[in-house]
Structure 1
């Protein structure tokens, strides 16, 4: 069985990746499973740069196939913020509630028709001696004026999906894994997966 390392400590992300990979013959682990912690500074200015830094850095250390994602919330009325700083928008402690509070405060006087936003996920797939590949998924939505729903994580409670009439936090994990930005990126990754497995 092939081994795959998910370059994340985020429990929510890890659960999503493991569910999305359950149909593949791979052994999935994450940074949480390592005896010694690995910290790769996210010094990039784009999702692609940060995903590449993490995937290549950890793959070179662990000598195994590694998938890193950099994802975040892009809000049009905030000129693309919080973007690559989504996890630490309100501070370095990466507090979901404080991040949501800051978004809602900055959008306090913005009308609903101008609260358009999207979740963006860039996956970087790296392995020793191979060129890093990228796939991207995007999920369009609208930022609500208050929290709705208690599923998911991050900004899910304020991300409204017009086509479903619900926020991301009102979806079951199975529903979310069909339409989320990460799920869309994963669907694209599946096209490359057989090629990456050859000769490994």
Structure 2
């Protein structure tokens, strides 16, 4: 069975990824599974650059096909911040409860469409032959005026999707995977991988 490493140690993210890629005939491993714990310096200025840095760094260290994602939330009222800094926003040790409340507080005067935001996810795949491909998925929504829901992780409790009338933290994992930025980017990547493994 073909091994694919996903360059993350985030269990919440791995759960989502395994659900989306479950019908691929592969063994999907996390960085923790392969014992890789070196720090990767993500100094790119775009989601694409950071995803490629992660995928290539791990592929060169391990010699297997590696998937990596860079994802985050862009809040239009905050000039698309936190963007590529979403994970490090307000400091890496700051809880997402604090990060989410900070964004809500910053948008206290924002009305209706002024609260527009999107989740962005770029998936990069680095192959041992040196080829690198990327896919991008987005989902549009609004920043809610309070933290709602206990599902998902990260900024899910403040990301309100009007057509579903709930935050992504209130959705089932199946529903979220169908519409999420990561789900879209991963499904597109899955098609590209199937073509290359055929």
Normalised by the shorter chain, which TM-score bucket? Answer: over 0.9
Q: Is contact 1:87–1:94 with CA below 8 Å preserved after alignment? A: no
Q: Deviations over 1:31-72 (max 9, x none)?
A: 121334122111111101100000000001010010000000
Mapped pair 1:61 → 2:61: yes
Distance 1:193 1:146, change over 3 A: same
Aligned with 1:70: secondary structure? strand
**Offset at residue 87 of structure 1 (A):** 1.1
- Deviation at residue 144 of structure 1 after TM alignment: 0.5
Partner residue of 1:11? Answer: 11
Give the 3-state SS of the residue equivalent to 1:163 in structure 2. Answer: helix
Which position in structure 2 is the counterpart of 1:34?
34
Alpha-carbon distance in 2 for matches of 1:21, 1:38:
26
- Counterparts of 1:53 and 1:130, CA distance in 2: 13
* Cα distance in 2 for residues equivalent to 1:154 and 1:174: 17
RMSD: 1.1
SS at match of 1:174: helix
Contact 1:71/1:119 (<8 A) preserved: yes
Higher mean C-alpha displacement, 100-109 vs 1-10: 100-109
TM-score (ref. length: structure 2): 0.96
Aligned to 2:118: 118
Paired residue for 2:97?
Answer: 97
CA distance in 2, matches of 1:76, 1:68: 26
Unaligned runs of 5+ in 1: none
Q: CA deviation at 1:79?
A: 0.6
> Partners of 2:192 and 2:94 in 1: how far apart?
32
Counterpart of 1:108 in structure 2 is: 108
Number of residue pairs matched by the alignment = 198
For the 8 Å contact 1:74–1:81, the answer to whether it is kept is yes
CA–CA separation in structure 2 for the residues paired with 1:190 and 1:92: 30
Change (3 A) 1:36 1:50: closer
**Residues 157-181 of structure 1: CA distance to partner in whole angstroms, max 9, x if unpaired?**
1100011111101101111110000
CA distance in 1, matches of 2:2, 2:29: 11
Native 8 Å contact 1:42 1:54 kept in 2 = yes
Q: CA deviation at 1:138?
A: 0.3
